[in-house]
Structure 1
């Protein structure tokens, strides 16, 4: 029970709403374009459902901000999308994109729920989680029915439950290293599936970006993604396990941009931040030392890539500032 009738939103709630508003306003632009190009009716239905959710979220967040008398972020608008641009991605890419973004949504909403205090905010994020689960399930079921989803490797059951008997279970760089365990395989395949989609997306962005530095940044992103995929694949292949296929062929040869450079840079930044977070989670549960070291190195590369992208956003005046604590030093000195 709330002890105050009208408690103000706390910093975590403001941050969650701001982050979601930016992401959903971007998604609306992406989805409007996809709906303009999609031909498959089943995929269209999922895109329409996703667009409905994003629009509903934006409206509710505006209400929260207005009640708080907090400025609504600019986010992304119709100025950031060209619906008349030729097709850049296939219908299959649209479906895979929705599935991966739904997974991101589930992660983000879980964090937002657990860092929210007000009961109405918690109820809102609880609803968002339920909606995202439906979107995730619908997109996954359709991927499976179309034969587009690569299942993670199967593991054969041992005769009985087993215990680790030697510290060599933890080694990885020297000597005979043990095969990957299921937890490690799960993280590798999950990160590979995200990276496969991200590489194809940035590959498309690199073809259509207008500014030279933005185009070069995306090209660098495809190279970085290729490197990470090669490392992940080698880890699986060492144990004779399959790896997810490339989705690069789902990108057309169009050179006309459907999206503003600002939107594509923001989207790539979001994807990079998510990669850092999921790599960090993989470090925590990977028991072989070589895996933790690999993830640490890859995380460092992604962080550097993300920082370089942030600098491009700042240089072009594209980076909106999230809710921030008051600068008491500036206030005390009379600076504006």
Structure 2
């Protein structure tokens, strides 16, 4: 039999994070499946639940074999299946699609930090599942008319090269700025789409949060999502590009929390991190400096908002501590 290397710290860390995210998604899926009245949507979510549950068991088994304590993550007490429907009109699959976008990025990073074959096999399997579900969710939403496609453009017929650094200059008090390129338009469209879904998600969370600080935090996040959507839409309007984003869903008037405040806060913190990375990626590939600066300022707001969320989680005992390296000075100076 092949001798396995001891599991490395980086592998412990990525598996620990994966366990947190997957157990959270399982609880969310359980609630959405219980409230869905669309069989196709239930089939998509049910299939994902089965496959994610398998990999959660795989991670638990690996931890047990290595003699490591299994993380708490999110359990049955973090979901209230009796809570009334909080979202309607396809929000479950819209949000599921966003979660799969997050997973795509995480698996790429995690695979780069894996060295053992059994750990790599987990991320290979999860990547396959994510690709399949993302496609199913996208087709479902397009067929239902919920998902809005990016704007079309006139396709180029010749190859061109940028001849001046004026291509990067977006600050022109007099005269028109250059038109958006296809890369910039795609990044802006994605920013509007994800913040639109995030705005609806956090609206529902704000309605049912009991803790006043948590509720205030969610309301602040709602305003931040609005600010980002407004910034991106202004860029499109300046470029004479019409963009119409569908509402995506309906937030009901329910005030009964379907999830624990620990889960809701963790979910928002996870999406904050995704938004921060996505915003940095977008700013790097936008070649008009006015757009880059606007995106950088938004990223600063997202970072500060995320830090505030972590403080709330820690102060309420909701933040499970990741595995720590040995504190050598403390051990030596016992």
Q: TM-score, normalised by structure 1?
A: 0.95
Query: Partner of 2:261 in structure 1?
Result: 261
The answer to whether residue 45 in structure 2 is matched with residue 47 in structure 1 is yes
Q: Distance in 1 between matches of 2:269 and 2:244?
A: 23
Secondary structure in 1 matching 2:87: coil
Please give the per-residue CA displacement for 1:270-318, whole angstroms capped at 9, x wherever unaligned: 0111100101111211111111111111111001000100010010011
The answer to whether residue 322 in structure 2 is matched with residue 322 in structure 1 is yes
After TM superposition, list the pairs within 5 Å mapping 1:68-83 onto structure 2: 68-83=66-81
Q: Distance in 2 between matches of 1:316 and 1:248?
A: 32
The answer to whether residue 310 in structure 2 is matched with residue 304 in structure 1 is no
Query: Partner of 1:5 in structure 2?
Result: 3
Query: Partner of 1:228 in structure 2?
Result: 228
Does the 8 A contact of 2:23 with 2:74 survive in 1? Answer: yes
Q: Distance in 2 between matches of 1:122 and 1:24?
A: 17
CA RMSD in angstroms comes to 1.5
Query: Partner of 1:94 in structure 2?
Result: 92
Query: Partner of 2:278 in structure 1?
Result: 278
The alpha-carbon distance between structure 1 residues 244 and 28, as it changes in their structure 2 partners (threshold 3 A), is farther
Q: Distance in 1 between matches of 2:177 and 2:115?
A: 46
Does the 8 A contact of 1:40 with 1:91 survive in 2? Answer: no
After TM superposition, list the pairs within 5 Å mapping 1:164-203 onto structure 2: 164-175=162-173, 176-203=176-203
Query: Partner of 1:29 in structure 2?
Result: 27
Does the 8 A contact of 1:43 with 1:91 survive in 2? Answer: no
Structure 1 stretches lacking a partner, 5+ long: none
Does the 8 A contact of 1:170 with 1:287 survive in 2? Answer: yes
Q: How far apart are 1:174 and its partner, in Å?
A: 2.6
Query: Partner of 1:313 in structure 2?
Result: 313
2:101 to 100, 103, 122: 103
Q: How far apart are 1:243 and its partner, in Å?
A: 3.0
Q: TM-score, normalised by structure 2?
A: 0.96
Q: Distance in 2 between matches of 1:146 and 1:248?
A: 10
Structure 2 stretches lacking a partner, 5+ long: none
Query: Partner of 2:61 in structure 1?
Result: 63
Q: How far apart are 1:249 and its partner, in Å?
A: 5.2
